[in-house]
Structure 1
Amino acid sequence: MNFGIAQHSIALACTALSLTLFPVLAAPASAKTLVYCSEASPEGFDPALYSTNSTWDASSKPVYNRLVEFQNGTTNVLPGLAESWTISDDKLTYTFKLRNNVKFHTTEYFTPSRDLNADDVVFSLQRQLDKTSPWHTYITGITWEMTTAMGLPDMVKEISKVDDKTVKIVLSAPSASVLANLAMDFASILSKEYADHLQADGKMTQLNELPVGTGPYQFVNYQQDSVVRFAANPDYWDGRQKIDDLIFSITLDQTTRIQKLRAGECQVASYPSPADVAGLKADSELKVLEQPGLNVAYLAYNTLVPPFDKAEVRRALNMAINKQAIVDAVFQGMGQVAKNPLPPAGWGYNDAVNDDPYDPEKAKSMLQAAGVGNLAMKVWAMPVSRPYMPNARRAAELIQADFARVGVSVEIVSYEWGEYLKKARDKNRDGAVILGGTSDNGDPDNLLSFFFGCAGVGSSNYSNWCFQPLDSLLQKARIIPDQAERTKLYEEAQVIIKREAPIAALDHSTVVMPMSKKVSGYVLDPLGSHRFDGVDLAE
């Protein structure tokens, strides 16, 4: 699930890169440049280490490919680096046939001597599972969060090379979501040859700083917290892109992003304030794409810390939150109140679940009955805009006022985005954290296992809530092939989550993307990413 989990800040060596060291690759005299005003800095450029869309937007999407890919704008799985695959009768063995003549990027810092082969696939995936590999711990503090949350350590029995163009993946049990998982960002394919060179030179962390992939764009340079530059891959297996130079202009402030868009300093801008949407739609120079998001925002209690270890306390606090007021103030018509952690736009959603009523008086009496008085707590507010929560500070202020009405005092805290995510994972974290996510593959398991799986405690499970009946149910649903049967289990899971209340589900948003009318070919991604393959810009 993507929303944000940082483990490693990019080394200072990467920030020192300059255009004198890494000039933009040669392009035609009439080179087209597209500037995207992004909302946050990438945490690194090895996508398997992270779980934020802002990081994947600047790494896996432009630089890398996967064995299989999501068709742009859908959750349909299509061939990627694997041109075809077969599945054994027992649904345990997947055999992938790789494309011929797939080139890795030639950059200022690496020149490949061969095309993509099976060694690259095995290396890219196996390092995430093999704890004895030096690449398993090449960045301090790695947890391979997405890999773990998706259950791959238990799901995958073997990854092996059959021949240079054939890879075999053997599962421990059938999985209904394995192909969708392999289309996710953490399954991006890196160059083993490049990794071997870095290891021999004692520069392994460079794999996360100076990326080499097979994707539509290749990395040029990164100036920390300022700009990321890419150039069209001249040898891209699926055809050279029409945009020659792709630039991510990192602009944290929503208002500034829109100002840059209107001024023509960027052609696409992420996550506008809902208050700005009507004006953007009225601008004759702009167009605004819009669709319901496969997302959710929530307030996650730390269930390992009293009194939040008691479900009755968590339910009482949930009843104290006026979620409609948050949606009205923060989204201004571009969102809806959430009662489940799954979005209603996706399959598996349980509309029969009854939400907690907004009832401050009952919440107060429930806290008293639970022996909780004079409670003081922290509420964490994200420092960046996300599609599921454009203004976490405002939401935190409203929650602060709601909790005050039931006798609970709240201190609002925040940190720089990467630090926010790192500190929020601490099992001893003081306070409830505002976060959320957008589905990475459209499968209910993605969000539910990521948020609530026992394997994610201390990482992606920000409530640190391991409830074995739910965990067993999710593991069962993962291996059932029939979607109708899986739906029943996910509906049951949502009933359990509502009853035990490890989080307060806050909202689901409508996703909007404003851009210049000169931009064509851009498709809104239901999975929350920003892709620029296939995009063009009129003169």
Structure 2
Amino acid sequence: MKEWIRKIAISLMILLTLMITIEYESSRNDMKEKLPENYNNVYKTKKLIIGRANDSLGLDPANVTDIDSLRVTSNIFETLVKYEKEGKEIIPGLAASYKYSEDGLVFTFRLRQGVKFHDGTAFDADAVVFNFRRWMDKDNIYHNGEFEYYNYVFNGFPGIIKEVTAVNNYTVEIKLNKPYAPFLSSLAMPVFGIASPDSIKEYKNDVYKHPVGTGPFMLKSWKPNESITLIKNNEYYGIKAKVDEIEFKVIPSDKDRIEQLKQGNIHIADDINPDDAAAIKNETDYRLILRPCLNVSYIALNNEKLPFSKKDVRTAISYAIDKDDLIKQVYSDFAKPAKTFIPPLFIGYDDGIDKREYDIKKAKELLKKAGYSKGFKTTLWVMNSSRSYMPKPLETAMYIKNSLSKVNINVTVKTLNWSEYLNRIKNGEHEMALIGWSGDNMDPDNFLYTLLSSQNAKHGVASNYSFYKNNDVDMLLTQARQTNDTEFRKLLYKKVLAIINDDMPSIPLTHNMPVIVANPCVKGYVPSMTMNESLENVDIEFR
């Protein structure tokens, strides 16, 4: 009897085990159906995938100005100094420490030792000197390209940098021709990432395809207009990256980026359309992240062409645009109206500056005064893809077109791809163009000198897309660059903004709050105010 009971018990146990196994396999099969095809790559090899609207234009940081390039190079290259996570204070980077003379003309950097480039060569003082000489000397055999940012920041070639020398293997001294208050802030920008001299010598004009730095990630592959994949640098001297790979995947459509996120094919959807962001704002399955407003969008009016050479015409346009309504209709309230060309959190910002309230009557009066009582015809250029400062460029252009029609300005909207667009407005071919600027550091010089100095209004390499030239503005901006007295700099920048507000060389529109949507599995992601975040601290955790 006992043997019979024992056999029944064993049979029941076998049956129960079989049922559990079947249920487990069934649940596994159901799970597989819900997981993306790239499950093994994404989940098992810790591959962080970021969906974005545009591809990079190049991966040589010294020869690019677009944020889509610099977001990638910020993970490959490192700078002598950098901003801490909050984006407010300068801290050591590849330089372990630094000091400068009382007159602000000599900066000494003591470099980190034991650091290697991705190609295995040593990072040392000679490598730093090599990079600076490549940037600053137009006769240097490796000065291949425009090096636009160096030109913008340091006033030409060699500009305000007089000399860069290696004091010893791990000490570099930089002498300036004149004091330059934002010098350390400028060196913290990703465009001044230190590259391997050997890679520059080897790849020459193709170095933009073969980036070799010292950072936490290295280039694995670049499929133009598809994706850029970085791989973890296991020899990194600092804290090693938490993910094995990062893929920057080009997904031009905002809706497609959101859909790819929902399907589990990407982990972060960058620069999301405000309408889409509003739609998923209350969905608990995703994290909605707003990047701080360190940007400005504006209508660049070409001051070298009629009728935009006339101040009354430019001012009339500023009265004809209802910025609050633009933000409501096009930005779904994910932006703030711009009174001027710098965000409110910068030193020198004057909250009392005239906002130029929407006033159609005033706009018509000014046009009549300028000799255009019947209006005029013009063309407004717009890029064909979203930017961090302007997530819906075509919709913005159509809003501007409709607004100006109310004051008899007949606008034709012309759309161009981003690369061609940037090249042509740098050359001053436009009449009106929608454009913007995302700050690379927290100094107002980064906006005002770049966007409004006559030094930067040179055809072919311009960043002053208004081609605005004012001697008083140039003098004040130069003074602000050459003093370390913060209170005096505030006063100087307020004077600049007062002149700009009166001249109205172009029309500031918005300070956008770029929207990022992330899967909750993404841990440690903190968006940088400058948008150039290094991602070594980001992890992917699954339950």
**1:233-278 superposed Cα distances (whole Å, 9 cap, x missing partner):** 0111112211001101111111111111111111011111112224
In structure 2, how many angstroms separate the alpha carbons of the residues matched to 1:184 and 1:305?
A: 33
Counterparts of residues 12-411 of structure 1 (less than 5 Å): 30-59=44-73, 61-106=74-119, 112=120, 114-136=121-143, 138-139=144-145, 142=146, 144-152=147-155, 153-196=158-201, 198=202, 203-372=203-372, 373-411=374-412
Q: How far apart are 1:91 and its partner, in Å?
A: 2.0
Q: Which secondary structure does the structure 1 equivalent of 2:386 belong to?
A: coil
Distance, in Å, in 2 between the alignment partners of 1:120 and 1:208 is: 18
Residue 472 (structure 2) pairs with residue 465 (structure 1): no
**CA contact 2:291–2:528 (8 Å) conserved in 1:** no
Kindly report which structure 2 residues correspond to 1:467-486, keeping only aligned pairs within 5 A, or say none.
Answer: 467-486=470-489
Write the deviation string for residues 114-152 of structure 1: whole angstroms up to 9, x where unpaired: 31011221122222211111222x23xx2x222122135
Q: Find the counterpart in structure 1 of residue 423 from structure 2.
A: 422
- 1:379-422 CA deviation, whole Å, 9 max, x = no partner? 11222222221111111111111111111110101111111111
Shift of 1:357: 2.5
- Number of matched pairs: 496
Q: Distance in 1 between matches of 2:330 and 2:534?
A: 26
Match of 1:528 among 522, 528, 531: 531
* SS of match in other structure, 1:528: coil
In structure 1, what residue type is equivalent to 2:179?
P
| 2:35 matched residue in structure 1 | none
CA displacement 1:297-348 (0-9 Å, x = unmatched)? 1001000111111111111121111222211111112111111101113332
Task: Give the Cα–Cα distance (whole angstroms) in 1 for the partners of residues 279 and 405 of structure 2.
Answer: 35
State the 1:281 CA deviation. Answer: 3.2
Unaligned runs of 5+ in 1: 1-26, 107-111
Could you tell me which residue of structure 1 aligns to residue 4 of structure 2? none
Q: Structure 2 vs 1, CA of residues 440 and 36 (structure 1 numbering), >3 Å: closer, same or farther?
A: same
Q: Give how far 1:510 is off.
A: 2.1
Contact 2:71 2:531 in 1 (8 A): no
What is the match of residue 5 of structure 1?
A: none
Q: Distance in 1 between matches of 2:223 and 2:340?
A: 40
2:30 corresponding residue in structure 1 = none
CA distance in 2, matches of 1:466, 1:503: 12
Distance 1:530 1:89, change over 3 A: closer
Matched to 2:67, the amino acid is N
Assess if the C-alpha contact under 8 Å between 2:199 and 2:210 holds in 1. Answer: no
Per-residue deviation, 1:188: 0.7
For 1:291 and 1:132, locate their aligned partners in 2 and report how far apart those are by CA, in whole Å: 40
Conservation of the 8 A alpha-carbon contact between 1:84 and 1:98: yes
Q: Does residue 493 of structure 2 align to residue 490 of structure 1?
A: yes
- Distance in 2 of aligned mates of 1:155 and 1:68: 19
Percent of residue pairs identical: 30
Looking at structure 2, the residues matched to 364 and 183 of structure 1 have their Cα atoms a distance apart, in angstroms, of 46
| Structure 2, unpaired ranges of 5+ | 1-40
**TM-score, scaled relative to structure 1:** 0.89
Asked if 1:510 is matched to 2:513, the reply is yes
Give deviations 1:156-185, integer Å, cap 9, x for gaps.
111111122111101112222111110001
Contact 1:242 1:535 in 2 (8 A): yes
- Give the 3-state SS of the residue equivalent to 2:206 in structure 1: helix
- Contact 2:382 2:393 survives alignment (8 Å): yes
Q: Which amino acid aligns with 2:106?
A: T
Give me the whole-angstrom Cα distance separating, in 2, the residues matched to 1:435 and 1:217: 31
Whole-angstrom distance in 1 between the partners of 2:209 and 2:130: 18
> Which protein is bigger by CA-based radius of gyration?
2
Q: Distance in 2 between matches of 1:305 and 1:444?
A: 28
**In 2, distance between residues paired with 1:414 and 1:281?**
31
Contact 2:525 2:537 in 1 (8 A): yes
> How far is the alpha carbon of 1:30 from its aligned partner?
4.4
* Per-residue CA distance 1:180-201 (angstroms, 9 max, x = gap): 11000121101112222x2xxx
What is the SS of the residue equivalent to 1:448? Answer: helix
Q: Alignment partner of 1:433: what SS?
A: strand
Deviation at 1:445, TM superposition (A): 0.6
Counterparts of 1:85 and 1:369, CA distance in 2: 56
SS in 1 for 2:184: helix
Q: Aligned with 1:421: secondary structure?
A: helix
CA distance in 2 between counterparts of 1:374 and 1:463 reads 21
Amino acid at match of 2:127: D
**SS of match in other structure, 1:135:** coil
Distance 1:229 1:485 in 2: 46
Letter in 1 for 2:326: I
CA contact (8 A) 1:73 1:524 kept: no
AA partner of residue 515 (structure 1): A
Cα offset, 1:28, TM superposition: 13
1:374 deviates by 4.3
Secondary structure in 1 matching 2:205? helix
Distance in 1 of aligned mates of 2:319 and 2:279: 35
Q: Distance in 2 between matches of 1:28 and 1:269?
A: 15
Q: For the residues of structure 2 that align with 1:253 and 1:511, how far apart are their CA atoms? A: 15
When structure 1 is superposed on structure 2, of 507-516 and 77-86 the one drifting more is: 507-516
Q: Report which stretch shifted further, 29-38 or 158-167.
A: 29-38
Separation in structure 2 between the aligned mates of residue 218 and residue 447 of structure 1, nearest angstrom: 31
- Between 1:93-102 and 1:361-370, the stretch displaced more is 361-370
Amino acid at match of 2:408: G
Give CA-to-partner distance per residue, 1:359-395, whole Å, 9 cap, x none.
2222122212212244111111222222221111111
Contact 1:318 1:356 in 2 (8 A): yes
Q: In the superposition, relative to structure 1, how do residues 195 and 406 fare at CA in structure 2: closer, same or farther (>3 Å)? A: same
Whole-angstrom CA distance in 2 between matches of 1:49 and 1:30: 36
Root-mean-square deviation (CA, aligned residues, Å) is: 1.7
Q: CA deviation at 1:291?
A: 4.5
Aligned position for 1:13: none
Partners in 2 of 1:394 and 1:512 — Cα distance? 17
Q: Deviation digits for residues 471-498 of structure 1, max 9, x if unmatched?
A: 1100100111111110111111111111
Inter-partner Cα distance in structure 1 for 2:165 and 2:325:
53
Q: Which structure features the higher share of helix residues?
A: 2
